[in-house]
Chains A and B, each alone.
Chain A
Amino acid sequence: MSTTVEPAPAPAPPRPKLRRRRTDGRLRGILGRLVELVLVLLVVSFGTFALVSLMDVDPAVSILGEGYAAEDYEKVREELGLNDPMIVRYFDWLGGALTGDLGQSVVPPYHDVVDRILAALPVSVELAALGMGMALLFSIPLAMWSAYHAGGRIDRFVSAGTFAVLSLPSFLVGLLVILVFSNTLGWFPRAEWSRLSEGLGDNLYHAFLPALTIALAETAMFTRILRNDLIGTLQEDFILAAKAKGMGTVHVLFSDALRPSSFSLITLMGISLGRLIGSTVIVEYLFALPGMGTLVIGAANTGDYVTVQGTVLVIAVIYVVTNALIDLSYGYLDPRVRRSHV
C-alpha cells in the first residue's frame, strides 16, 4: 500500500484490486511455465540431436552405400557438416528446426523431412485423439458405474475385465479386433487408410478399428484410475450434501464427483496422448497406417538419421506441450490450485 493519505475514503470497492492481484499471479505463473517449457524443449532437442551420435551408423556410409571411395566419403561428411564440432551442428540444426526446416532425408528419394512428418503426423494425431476420445467415452461411465457400486458384482466384473485387457499385449488386442470386426463381422475394413481430405465419413470408417484397438487398453487404464479416485470422492461430505439437497445420482456423479476425481485421469491422459502419437507403431503396423511410428521405424532401419531426428523432435515437442497444458488444466479442475503456486 502507498503511504499517501486519502482525504475521503473513496468508495473504491476492493473487488477490482483483488481481481487484478490474482490475474497478475496467474499471468506470472503462466510466464514461469513458459520459461520452464522452453528450457525443457532445449534439453529435449539436444537429447534428440545427441541421439544420433549414439546410433551406431555413419550417415555418410548410409548415403554412399558399401564400397565407397575415401575422397567421396570425406566430401559427403564435409557436405553434411559432420566434421564440425557437435555443438555447432546442434545449433545449425536447431536454427533450421525453428524456421521449419528439419533437413532432407539422407536416403532416396531424399524427401524433405518436414513434408514427411506433415504427411504422417495427422494420421498419428487423429488416431491418438480418436482412441483417447473413445477411451474417455467408455471409461467415464464405466468407472462411475463401478465406483458407485464399489465392491459389488458390477465393480468386480469391471475390475476383472479391465485387468484382463491390460494384461493383453496391444498386437493381440489388435488382432482380436481385426478378427471380430473385420474378418468375422466384416463391418470395417482392415489395412487401408483414407485421408481426411477424402471425406470425413470415409476417414472415420477406416480409422475406427485402429482407434478402437488403441482405445481398449487406454479404457482399461482410465477406468481403473478414475474408479479409484471416484470412490474416494464419493466418500466426501460434499457428495452427501449434494444428495441431501435432492440432486439425483447422475447429477451427483457428473456434476459433483467427476471433476474433483479427475486429476489422476488428466495426468494419465497427458502421458498417454504423448505416448500414443509417437508409439502406436504396433497398431500402425497391424493396420498398415502411414503414421509417425511407421515413419520413425522405417527411417531408423535405413539409417536416415535426419528423419529420425526430426520425427523424434516433433513427437517430443508435442509430448512436452501437451503435458504443460495438462498442468495448466489443474487450475480449471480445482480453483484452489489457481491461487497457490502454479
Chain B
Amino acid sequence: MTQSTAQVHPAQAPVTDQPMLVVDDLRTVIQTARGPLKAVDGVSLILRKGEALGIVGESGSGKSVLGRTIMGLHRTEGPITVTGKVLLDGIDVQALERKQLTELWGSKVGMVFQDPLTALNPVKKVGVHLTETVRKHRGLNRAQARERALELLDLVGIPDSRRRIDQYPHELSGGMRQRVVIAMALANEPELLIADEPTTALDVTVQRQILDLLDRLRAELGMALILISHNLGVVAGRTDRVAVMYAGRVVETADARSLFTQPHHPYAEALLAAIPDLDEPPHLRLAAIDGSPPDMSAPPPGCRFAPRCRYAQDDCVAVAPVLDGPGGHLFACHHPVNAGSLPDERGER
C-alpha cells in the first residue's frame, strides 16, 4: 500500500509531512434507473494536516458524494462504482475491507451532517449517541464513556450537560442538536473532519455559532477540516483553501484569499456575485446564475458550465478545459475572468 502511495506521489515528503488526504482522479458512478450517473467525475485534491479546505458548489454538484466517497461511506449498499484513489493519512481507503473501514470511521475521520434533525436517532438519548462510539473505538467502560460524553458536550458548548446527556434529541433545539452531531464526530478526536453543509438547516444566527465552534475546535484539536457548502460566504474566512465544484468536477481551486479576490472561473465569479451584500441598496434583485446544473447522467460535452456561461465560445463546447494554473491557483476554463492577474500564456481573452 505504501508502495503504491509512493508511486502516485513520487515527490512525497517524509512521514511528518505526509498529507492528511490525497484524492487522485476520483470518480464515483451511481447506477440509477436512468443509467449511470457520474456524481464525482475526476476530482483530485490534497489536504495537509490541520488544513481547512472549503468545497463549494450548487446542489447536485457532487460535493456531498465526494465527501462520502472520501470516507468510503455510502447511503446505500447499492451499485456504486468508485475509481481513482483516496489516501487518508497514507491509507488507501478503497482497498479496505468493510470492517477496517468502520475502524477508520469515527476515529481517524469524522463526519458532520447537514440536518441535525435527522442525523440523530430519535429513539436514542443524546448520551448514547456519544458513548457508543467512544466505547467502540476506545474500549471505554460505561462510566468512562459517560464521563467522556459529558466532556464532549462541554467541549461543543452545550450548557447543563449533565441534564442534556439524558435527554432525547427532540428535546433539544436545532443548534444544540448540531452541537451534539459535532460532538459525535469529534468523539475520538479524528484527524480529519468532513462537515457536509453543517449549517444549512440552521437559523442564520445559529449558523455563525456553529461555524465559529467548528473553527475553534479545529484549532484546539489540530485536525484537518473539509467544509462542504453551497454558500461561499460560509466558507469565507474559515478555510485555508477553497475548491469550487461544478457538475462533478473541480472547476477552480486556490487559497481562499486569491479565490475570493481573483476568481478565474466564470462559475466561481458567479457564485461570489450571488452572495448578498449588505452595502447594496435594499430590494435589489440578487444575482443568480441562469439555468440549472446539468443532468449528470448525460452531462454536456466540453466545459460543463458552458451552456450557462456568459463568456462561452465555440471551443468551450468542443473541448473540456483542463484544471491548471499558476502558483497553486488552478482553474478549468478556456476564457478565464480576471485574466489580468494571470501570466501571459493563459491570459488571452
A244 touches B77 (CB 8 A): no
Complex partner residue of A336 from B99, B124, B168, CB under 8 angstroms: B168
| Shortest Cβ distance from residue A250 to the other chain B in the assembled complex, whole angstroms | 11
| Shortest Cβ distance from residue A151 to the other chain B in the assembled complex, whole angstroms | 7
User: What are 16 sample pairs from A and B whose C-beta atoms fall under 8 A apart?
Assistant: A15-B163, A149-B77, A150-B76, A237-B115, A237-B119, A240-B75, A241-B181, A243-B105, A244-B106, A246-B133, A246-B137, A247-B132, A259-B123, A260-B122, A335-B122, A335-B168
A52 at the interface (CB under 8 A from B): no
B118 touches A255 (CB 8 A): no
| Shortest Cβ distance from residue B48 to the other chain A in the assembled complex, whole angstroms | 23
A236 at the interface (CB under 8 A from B): yes
A245 touches B187 (CB 8 A): yes
Contact with B along A226-244 (1 / 0, CB 8 A): 0000000011111011111
| Shortest Cβ distance from residue B170 to the other chain A in the assembled complex, whole angstroms | 5
A contact residues, total (Cβ < 8 Å): 30
B110 touches A245 (CB 8 A): yes
Question: Please, how many angstroms separate the alpha-carbon atoms of A237 and B177 in the complex?
Answer: 13
A244 touches B122 (CB 8 A): no
Bin the interface of chain B by size. 35 or more
Given contacts A148-B77, A241-B184, A336-B170, contact A248 B102 (CB under 8 A): yes
Question: Please, how many angstroms separate the alpha-carbon atoms of A150 and B75 in the complex?
Answer: 13
Given contacts A238-B118, A249-B98, A336-B122, contact A244 B110 (CB under 8 A): yes
By DSSP majority rule, is chain A's interface helix, strand, loop, or mixed?
Answer: helix
Q: Which 6 A-B pairs have the closest CB atoms?
A: A246-B106, A245-B106, A237-B118, A244-B111, A245-B133, A246-B105
Given contacts A247-B102, A336-B168, contact A242 B77 (CB under 8 A): no
A72 at the interface (CB under 8 A from B): no
Complex partner residue of A242 from B75, B99, B121, B122, CB under 8 angstroms: B121
Instruction: State which residues 319-336 of A face B: CB under 8 Å.
Output: 333-336
Given contacts A237-B115, A237-B119, contact A247 B78 (CB under 8 A): no
| Shortest Cβ distance from residue A243 to the other chain B in the assembled complex, whole angstroms | 6
Complex partner residue of A236 from B78, B105, B118, B181, CB under 8 angstroms: B118
A256 at the interface (CB under 8 A from B): yes
| Shortest Cβ distance from residue B120 to the other chain A in the assembled complex, whole angstroms | 6
Complex partner residue of A260 from B119, B123, B136, B185, CB under 8 angstroms: B123
Contact with A along B168-190 (1 / 0, CB 8 A): 10100000000001001101100
Question: Please, how many angstroms separate the alpha-carbon atoms of A337 and B115 in the complex?
Answer: 21
Q: Taking CB as reference atom, which chain A residue is nearest B105?
A: A246
Contact with B along A159-179 (1 / 0, CB 8 A): 000000000000000000000
B315 at the interface (CB under 8 A from A): no
Complex partner residue of B122 from A235, A245, A334, CB under 8 angstroms: A334
